[in-house]
Chain A
Amino acid sequence: MKAADFDYLRPSSLAEALTCLSQNVGVAQPLAGGQSLMPMMNFRVATPEVLIDLADIPDLRGVTELDGMLRIGAMTTYRDLTRITDRVPLLGLALPHIAHDAIRNRGTIGGSVALADPAAEMPALLLALGGVIELAGPDGQREVAADDFFQGYYATDRAEDELIVAIRLAVAKPGDSFGFYELTQRHGDYALAGVAIAHAPDLRIAFFGISDRPIRLPELEAALTAGTDPGPALDQIEFEGDLKASAATRRHYARVVLDRALAGMTS
């Protein structure tokens, strides 16, 4: 199908974009790379009256490094993220799993985080790395820890009149190690179950594709840190079932991806 009709705005500054957004609260949708939004519009699952294209906003672009942190502009594409995988090795592990080359050329980190698909890689990666999301709105800028940002199916802490400006991730230090694994029906599909792991130096484990949001389990991280069985902690997850996999299957997959990711940790 084709997208329903809409108004197309293309602001050239962050301030202008925020004005466009606040004047159209409830009917506007920011357009980043469009690699999830466009299919949703073509299916008419999404029917925004106003589309605000973020392509021309310099404040949303570029990667800077300061005090051991990378500040990644929200409009940075997956293709451009491949340039910083030496400093964020978990990105290097996760990126090849995201869709396909042609989609990675346009899809953005900010778009994925804003959409918060529970089966997407970037939200889980942010959780595992303890990332920070920088937001701008009519009342100024604020930042939210990834732990507090993802709130359910396609639901985040971002207000409708706010835009994600940048994502902050810690640069890996010597001795840090990372793991990533996901199960899909075909290469590039959304995960049936997946996990991103950072041991830097605390152990942070974020599952995706198994529940209504990417999730960390303190009990699981504590069990693995102590060297005890992580099984009981996994049983606390409210697994989601769908046409592709039942909740029980996902419970099984969660253990599979955890064991495989742990076995393949970088050194």
Chain B
Amino acid sequence: MKTKDISVIVNGEEVRASVPVRRNLVDFLRTDAGLTGSHVGCEHGVCGACTVEVNGATVRGCLMLAVQADGATVTTVEGFAASGRSAALAAAFTRRNALQCGFCTPGMLASALGYIDRGGTADRAAIREHISGNYCRCTGYQSIVEAICDVIEERTAP
């Protein structure tokens, strides 16, 4: 098996590892960095459970190789929580019952933050379109959309 030495800044800390070149980013995060918050679902870019942030943009952790992230800055759900960036969103998810089993939640939070932090508005159709690449099999999305709306409305309230 071919391997390569990589260095990735994960949630503000450097992670150095010798990884098989075929290892995707989300498996690197779970296996090498020990961060199991990012989930592995479909492994072909459809379900969104592995969504993380790379150099400030949300990406699918299963559609990127760990070696492609060499030198990059990665933020996972653990990083969003530690920095407080997801605090309001997590509270809104709890309040709105926007999760049941929680499998989709880390990816859902990453996608939602990508929308909110880029100035997305409390437009329910736009939010639904934005999270259309994140599958939830429990809640039916209504409560997730409401939670995201809550955070945007809290931020934009006078």
Interface contact B44-A8, CB-CB below 8 Å: no
The verdict on A34 contacting B68 (CB below 8 Å), with A6-B2, A39-B44, A43-B44 known, is yes
* Stretch from B53-61, B74-82, B90-98 forming part of the interface with A: B53-61
Taking a contact as CB atoms under 8 Å apart, the answer to whether A38 and B4 are in contact is: no
In the assembly, what is the distance between CA of A189 and CA of B104, in Å?
A: 19
A66 is an interface residue with CB less than 8 A from chain B: no
B24 interface residue per 8 A CB criterion: yes
- In whole angstroms, what is the CA distance A126 to B12 when docked? 41
Contacts of A5 in B (CB 8 A): 1-2, 20-22
Contact A38 B62 (CB under 8 A): yes
Docked Cα-Cα span, A216 to B103, in Å, equals 44
A53 to B68 alpha-carbon distance, docked (Å): 8
Find out whether the CB atom of A103 lies under 8 angstroms from the CB atom of B22.
no
Number of interface residues of B (CB under 8 A): 32
Interface residue? B48 (CB, 8 A): yes
The docked-state distance in angstroms from the alpha carbon of A55 to that of B68 is 8
In the complex, B129 has a CB within 8 A of chain A: yes
CA distance A204 to B21 in the complex (A): 44
Q: Kindly state whether residue A244 has any CB partner on chain B within 8 Å.
A: no
Q: Does B37 contact A (CB under 8 A)?
A: no
Given A101-B130, A102-B60: A7 touches B48 (CB 8 Å cut-off): no
Q: How large is the interface on A (under 10, 10 to 19, 20 to 34, 35 or more residues)?
A: 20 to 34
Report A55 CB to chain B, min CB distance, Å.
7
Q: A6-B22, A187-B129, A188-B133 are in contact. Are A102 and B64 (CB under 8 A)?
A: no
The main secondary structure of chain B at its interface with chain A is mixed
| Contacting pair A42 B48 (CB below 8 A) | no
Chain B residues with Cβ below 8 Å from A101 are 58, 111, 114-115, 130, 133
Please name 28 pairs of A and B residues whose Cβ atoms are closer than 8 Å in the assembled complex, sorted by A: A1-B43, A2-B22, A2-B23, A5-B21, A6-B2, A7-B21, A8-B21, A8-B67, A10-B67, A31-B68, A38-B63, A39-B45, A79-B57, A96-B129, A99-B45, A99-B133, A100-B132, A100-B133, A102-B48, A102-B51, A102-B57, A102-B133, A103-B45, A105-B59, A106-B57, A106-B59, A186-B132, A188-B133
Question: Which residues on A are within 8 Å of B, measured CB to CB?
Answer: 1-8, 10, 31, 34-35, 38-39, 42-43, 51, 53, 55, 79, 96, 99-103, 105-106, 186-188
Since A53-B68, A100-B132, A102-B114 are in contact, a sample of 11 more A-B pairs with Cβ atoms closer than 8 Å, ordered by chain A residue number, is: A2-B23, A2-B24, A7-B21, A8-B2, A42-B43, A42-B62, A101-B114, A101-B115, A102-B58, A106-B63, A187-B132
Which residues of B approach A to under 8 Å, CB–CB?
1-2, 4, 20-24, 27, 43-45, 48, 51, 57-60, 62-65, 67-68, 111, 114-115, 129-130, 132-134
